[in-house]
Amino acid sequence: MGRAGWGLSPPGVLFAVLGLGALLLPFLTVAANRIVAGDGVLPWRLAAPAVTLPGTAAVMAGLLLGLPSAWPRLRFAGSILGLAGLLWLLMQGAPALLVGAGDYARVSPAIGFWCLLLILMLLMADALAQLAPGSLARGALLAAVLGTLALILWSGTLSQLSILQEYAGRREAFADAAVRHLALAFGSLATAAAIGFPLGILCHRRSSLRTTTLPVLSFLQTIPSLAMFGLMIPILGWVGDSVPGAQAIGIAGIGFAPAFLALVLYSLLPVVGNTVTGLAATPPSALEAARGMGMTPRQRLWQVELPLGLPIILTGLRIVLVQNVGLAVIAGLIGGGGFGTFVFQGLNQTATDLILLGALPTVALALVSAIVMDILVELASPTPQGTA
């Protein structure tokens, strides 16, 4: 094979150097309890060498397999092998470190683990970018990853990690936070879509309305998120006190309602703006052909403009969804619930694993939402980039 076939991938080289360096950092931290700072332990010192060697070797081999630029499938397999090595080290290292450490001892992933996890995920993303799988293949891969993760968590193999011990003591609270977080993110998206789609269509039809509406929505978008949540407190507090029956349906100065309203206001600009842009992107030739066929303005909207503008409109929804998944964390500050409750509780208690209990599901939900919306955008495009 020629030089091109055996060439090294520049990102792969970077990932290998950084990954091998991360192996020299503490992989797990063992602490006397959930609050105090722990001592970092290197990967090969987690347990006996015969136990840690397979995991360490798998991580190193995965990084090295990511080097060839012309073999993206091999690079993808390397990322899977490296992630399997990380899982092995977690499964073997946590129980070994807890032996004789005390009843309240906790084991947590340290900086080395998080760096290696990020590097291997970037290697996987880079390999997938080379492979350029179609929308259906990406959906199947996402389902496989989520299924594998769910199986690992359900099996209890990682139950001795501190973050899962935090979860074990808060199962009901976590379920309630998850429902609240989903309601905030997806409920605000649905409400913004119900308001923004018709408003975007009107703005597309009437330039005078567009020139007044979009600047107002842009102004709302510039307000810092924490300030927006704060502004909702006195407004909805007054509504709850002044309007009969408002408090009975949950409208008050703190809680779910102000957080929900703030997210809806943040969501309007991407929905309205992308609706206007999507409708305006319809080729004039398509509109002329529709007029020539005798279509009414309503028929042109539903049968020509909206189908052609759907990818841009869905891109706006993607922006809103990912944005709101992250912003919903702040709802924990004003009693709105969601995963932010654990984040701020952990900050108050100086409990890192409690912070992660709220932060990691938020990150995972944002990533999954972005991937799913990207797939929908591709499926809605007139010329999808891939079908495999």
Domains in the chain: how many in total?
A: 2
pLDDT in tens, 162-201: 899 889 888 999 999 999 999 999 999 999 999 999 999 9
Range among 46-50, 181-185, 331-335 rated most confident: 181-185
Query: Are residue 212 and residue 349 in the same domain, yes or no?
Result: yes
Among 258, 269, 351, which residue's Cα sits nearest to residue 37?
Answer: 351
State the pLDDT at residue 169: 85
pTM of the full structure? 0.86
Residue 288 lies inside a defined structural domain of this protein: yes
**374 is written with which tokens?**
């990207």
What's the pLDDT at 3? 43
Q: By residue range, what is the domain housing residue 342?
A: 171-380
Q: Is 108 contained in some domain? A: yes
Is 90 part of a structural domain of the chain?
Answer: yes
The whole-angstrom separation of Cα 367 and Cα 124 is: 14
Q: Three-class SS of residue 8?
A: strand
Segment 224-258, tens digit of pLDDT:
877 887 787 787 777 777 777 666 666 766 778 88
Which helix or strand (DSSP H or E) is residue 44 part of? none
CB 70 within 8 A of CB 6: yes
d(CA 139, CA 134): 9
Average pLDDT score over the chain: 87
| Domain assignment of residue 106, yes or no | yes
Q: Is residue 146 part of a domain?
A: no
pLDDT over 50 (residue 388): no
Same domain for 247 and 309: yes
pLDDT at 387: 43
Q: Which two tokens stand for residue 310?
A: 């759907």
Classify residue 9: in a domain, yes or no: yes
CA dist., res. 276 & res. 207, Å (int) = 10
Q: What is the CA radius of gyration of the chain?
A: 25
Q: Is residue 386 part of a domain?
A: no
The domain that contains 352 carries what CATH number?
1.10.3720.10
Tell me whether residue 36 is exposed, middle or buried, using C-beta atoms within 10 angstroms of its C-beta: 0 to 12, 13 to 18, 19 or more. exposed
345: in domain: yes
**The two structure tokens encoding residue 77:** 């397999």
